[in-house]
Amino acid sequence: MRKIILIFILIASTGVAFGQQENNKITYIKFDFWHSLRIPNHTVSIEIIKRQSEVIVKVKSTPMNDGIKWKYSKVDTSFYINKNKFIELSKKTSELNKINLNKAIVRGIDGTECTIEFGNYGNTISYKFWSPNYDTEKRELVHFLNFCKILIETGELKPKEIL
């Protein structure tokens, strides 16, 4: 009986180790947002890049036009975050592969496009969905939408203003 328990523990710990190893390969996470008609925050891009000694966040938001009224939504900045925060974010990427594309993919005319891309500089994976806040539960995009919100907050923007 002890041998069976020991074997089970070894198998379980191996799976965890492989999962952590894969997350360690991630050095890049990006969120892109586009809205077809909205003027403020018409496009938003948040890139999170892990380097040897630092993690940098690059944030860019542009309004549809340069009117004074929308100037507040024009952002072009970068700052550093803690490596542990990056590790948390990279772990969340593994849940994206559970998305059922048959349920998630719908088409629409007006709305948003949200893209999450991650990987390293040689290889990336991206998930792009039209208006993930439309029928989110039915489309099984709850994790995707929550991750979008976390990435927006990491970029020091407000999800309610963007999504």
Region 55-81: mean pLDDT is 93
The letter for the amino acid at 76 is D
Place of tokens 């203003």: 161
Which secondary-structure segment (H or E) carries 19? helix 2-24
Instruction: Tell me if the domain spanning 25-162 has CATH number 1.10.1660.
Output: no
Kindly report each contact of residues 10-19 with a partner whose C-beta sits within 8 Å and lies 24 or more positions away, as own/partner: 19/94
**pLDDT tens per residue, range 10-48:** 444 444 433 433 557 899 999 999 998 888 999 999 999
DSSP assignment letter at 66:
-
pTM above 0.85, yes or no: no
Hey, which of 8-12, 33-37, 61-65, 146-150 has the most confident mean pLDDT? Answer: 146-150
Place of tokens 């309610």: 160
Domain residue limits, the chain: 25-162
